[in-house]
Amino acid sequence: MKRWYGKLLGFFAGAALFRTNPLFGALVGLLIGHAFDIDWFRLRRDNPYAALGLTSDASDAEVDQAYRRLISQYHPDRMAGAAAELRQQAEARAREINQAYDRIKTLRQRR
């Protein structure tokens, strides 16, 4: 358990808000605090490894290989003769791949 303060704050806030039944309020607050502690309310987690189809324990060579494979597949220049919609999708995917690769390289340089 990494974070605990959401549960504690939720417990006391729920007990204070539900004055007629403080135990029920405390339990509801505890559940909401737990949800915040484990990031249930974050809609999208930015995982650069998932964008490349890798796990976080992939080696540098695996990251480079996955990047080269994906960018050669989705590079917008390869879609020059395709429909406009396909080109836009390829550009968006190539942008996502490049951002993920840059993020991984930045994270690994910090170590």
Say if residue 44's pLDDT is above 60.
Answer: no
pLDDT in tens, 21-33: 888 888 788 778 7
- CATH architecture designation of domain 48-110: Orthogonal Bundle (1.10)
Give the CA-trace dihedral at 31, 32, 37, 43, to 10 degrees: 130
Cα separation, 103 vs 18, whole angstroms: 45
The two tokens of residue 80 are 């020059």
Per-position DSSP letters for 17-66, written without gaps between them:
H-SSSHHHHHHHHHHHHHHHHTTTT-S----HHHHTT--TT--HHHHHHH
Cα separation, 55 vs 75, whole angstroms: 23
Q: What is the pLDDT of residue 111?
A: 67
pTM of the shown model: 0.58
Between residues 110 and 62, the one the model is more confident about: 62
Average pLDDT of the chain, as a whole number: 83
State the span(s) of the chain assigned CATH 1.10.287.110: 48-110
